[in-house]
Amino acid sequence: MRLLLTACATTALVATGPLTATAADQGPQGHDKMVGGELLTAKPTVVADGAAPPAVQASAYVVADLDTGQVLAAKAPHARLRPASTLKTLTALVLLPRLKKTDPVIGTTADAGIIGSKVGVYPGLHYTVDLLFRGMFLASGNDAVHALCSHDEGGIPATVQRMNAKANDLGALDTTVTDPTGLDADGQYSSAYDLALFAQAGLARQDFAMYASTKYTNFPNAGNKGTYQVANQNKLLFGYDGALGVKTGYTTLARNTFVGAARRDGHTLVVTMMNAPHGITQDASNLLTWTFANYGKLKPVGTLVKPAAAPPPKTQTEGKNQDKPTARKAGEPPARTALGPGQAVTSLALRVPAWAYAGPPVLLLGLFLRRPRALRRRRH
């Protein structure tokens, strides 16, 4: 009986595992070797050669030279963690080539009602794509992201598909996208290594680099009654010599995430950090300063992989009438992406409440511990 009860309890614990697992110890799935080099593991160890980097509080980080692609220091670079709004770097990589900056966009109630950080998109107010990108980069506005995705063909479902495809093209195999804003969503992960790939691809674009380094912009008030100033949340821009900005992020589950870059002495460096409790700007500054100071001593511990060859993306106008996704009608639920057999099982397991797994062992426990009727009559 004890063996049976133990087996049932073990089954319950195994079943509840996916509900609490963070996947922080998982590297690129389906690959024998770590992308970018065998030294770049998902283990929580610091890898550097030539000098000892300063201690930082983030669970994972990468410092890399964006010009050479050399990774100069890393800590759990392939750990799959929640990216928060640093995922917007990938969102921008998908949307920037597709949308015309001067296009008008009218705010909707769906834009204004989105949860999380907002820049202030109001229903009925007129914006340009350019201004919405500024709201997305500087204020990390989820409402701006929603408006931009909705303006593109296929809306949010199509943007998510394009983001996953773009991540794959860049070699960012730790990344799975389910929400383009970066909010904590089931199955949404990235890594410090992948964020470095997004930064490298982004800063190679003039428009991305411009938005990432913009310190201030003005956004219209409701009713077009003047404007208000929006400041970039990446504080590296305001106090670090040579800073190029890029993107910050924060959610309750992801904690602080960060992508920052700086250019000094002919070198352009990026630092990415994930799952940091606090002090992320100072830690990023310390890592960048250490790398610049020791650049001549450091030996590469890995590389940022080169993107796969792909045809140039079509603009929204060029792509019209070509594989156009079906537009979502007002009030219609979002389209669902088809899941493979393994994904479907995982998705189902994640939707079953934890207490349900404990039900069978408890019932069996009551069955085996019930006293025989003869014993109960004997005690009366």
Q: Across the chain, what does the average pLDDT equal?
A: 80
Does the annotation count 285 as an active-site position? no
* H/E run at residue 62: strand 60-65
Bridge partner residues of 231 (DSSP)? 216
Does the annotation count 140 as an active-site position? yes
Contact 93, 208 (CB under 8 A): yes
DSSP structure class, residue 23: -
Q: pLDDT digits over 78-88, tens only?
A: 999 999 999 99
Contact 251, 276 (CB under 8 A): no
Query: In one letter, which amino acid is 39?
Result: L
Contact 294, 72 (CB under 8 A): no
Based on the number of CB atoms within 10 Å of its own CB, is 55 exposed (0-12), middle (13-18) or buried (19 or more)? exposed
Could you give the CA distance from residue 261 to residue 284 in angstroms, rounded to a whole number? 9
Q: Position of tokens 């220091």? A: 73
Q: Position of tokens 């994640």? A: 350
Which CATH number is 46-303 given? 3.40.710.10
Sign of CA dihedral 193, 194, 197, 203: negative
Contact 120, 104 (CB under 8 A): no
Based on the number of CB atoms within 10 Å of its own CB, is 97 exposed (0-12), middle (13-18) or buried (19 or more)? middle
Catalytic residue, from 75, 117, 118, 140: name it: 140
Q: Who contacts 264 (Cβ-Cβ below 8 Å, separation ≥6)?
A: 241, 242, 292
Catalytic residue, from 88, 118, 166, 247: name it: 88
Q: Who contacts 286 (Cβ-Cβ below 8 Å, separation ≥6)?
A: 54, 56
Could you give the CA distance from residue 69 to residue 72 in angstroms, rounded to a whole number? 9
The token duo for 364 is: 């069996």
Residues in the chain: 380
- Phi then psi dihedrals of residue 61, to 5 deg: -155, 165
Could you give the CA distance from residue 180 to residue 155 in angstroms, rounded to a whole number? 11
Contact 48, 41 (CB under 8 A): no
Q: Domain-by-domain residue ranges, the chain?
A: 2-22+348-379, 46-303
Q: pLDDT digits over 161-214, tens only?
A: 999 999 999 999 999 999 999 999 999 999 999 999 999 999 999 999 999 999
Could you give the CA distance from residue 134 to residue 105 in angstroms, rounded to a whole number? 14
Could you give the CA distance from residue 45 to residue 56 in angstroms, rounded to a whole number? 12
Could you give the CA distance from residue 299 to residue 291 in angstroms, rounded to a whole number? 11
- Full pLDDT tens readout for the chain, 380 residues: 433 433 443 333 333 332 222 344 444 544 546 899 999 999 999 999 999 999 999 999 999 999 999 999 999 999 999 999 999 999 999 999 999 999 999 999 999 999 999 999 999 999 999 999 999 999 999 999 999 999 999 999 999 999 999 999 999 999 999 999 999 999 999 999 999 999 999 999 999 999 999 999 999 998 778 999 999 999 999 999 999 999 999 999 999 999 999 999 999 999 999 999 999 999 999 999 999 999 999 999 999 999 875 444 444 444 433 333 333 333 333 333 333 333 333 333 333 343 443 444 444 444 444 444 444 444 44
Catalytic residue, from 85, 190, 191, 285: name it: 85
- Cα diameter, the chain: 92
Does the annotation count 88 as an active-site position? yes
* Helices assigned H by DSSP within the chain: 2-20, 88-95, 109-112, 129-138, 142-151, 155-170, 192-203, 206-213, 236-239, 280-293, 341-351, 354-369, 373-379
Q: How far apart are the first and last CA of the chain?
A: 27
Q: Position of tokens 């943007």? A: 159
